[in-house]
Amino acid sequence: MGWVKELKLRNGQLWRLSSTPGPPPGTEKWGACVLASLAEMPPSAGDLAAQAAAEGRCPAIGVVAPNSEAVHDHIDEIVERHGALHVRTAFTRGPEALSEMLSLLDSGLAGPGPVYVFSDPLSYVEAGLRDEGLLS
């Protein structure tokens, strides 16, 4: 499974929250993959999302963390090395980082299908979705 909590957004999209960077290996396709952390993440936290993108299973990746640019750059290197230039990536940081990323995803960065979300702590993204009024 790879996720521990499923949330339905007001637009009908399912978000699957996990405490594990991912998504898990397999064939499931995602609308987007999100890595969101209040703490710095090692760049390697983006490896599974980048691999899923290179395999055509995740068309967009969003990163939210104090060091989101470094993680984003690592993901971009992997995606580009695999020739997956169609993959959209974005990063945000600072006090409004999560709000900005949720807005990007809600306004079209996320494609059809469920969104895989690594959230550290697990409550971080869910609280942001509630604050932004995005939950159904």
pTM reported for the whole predicted model: 0.93
pLDDT at 121 over 90: yes
Torsion over CA: 31, 49, 84, 109 (sign): positive
pLDDT band at 109 (very low <50, low <70, confident <90, very high): confident
How many other C-beta atoms are found inside a 10 Å radius of the C-beta of residue 115?
25
pLDDT at 1 over 60: no
Residue 40: its pLDDT value, please? Answer: 96
Residue 2: its pLDDT value, please? Answer: 58
Count Cα neighbours of 30 within 13 Å in the Cβ-side half-sphere. Answer: 33
Residue 107: its pLDDT value, please? Answer: 86
- pLDDT single digits (tens) 11-37: 899 999 999 998 988 899 999 999 999
pLDDT band at 3 (very low <50, low <70, confident <90, very high): low
Domains of the chain by start residue, with CATH: 5-122 (3.90.190)
Contact between residue 64 and residue 40 where contact means Cβ atoms under 8 Å apart: no
- pLDDT single digits (tens) 56-103: 999 999 999 999 999 999 999 999 999 988 899 999 999 999 999 999
Distance, CA of 120 to CA of 136 (rounded, Å)? 22
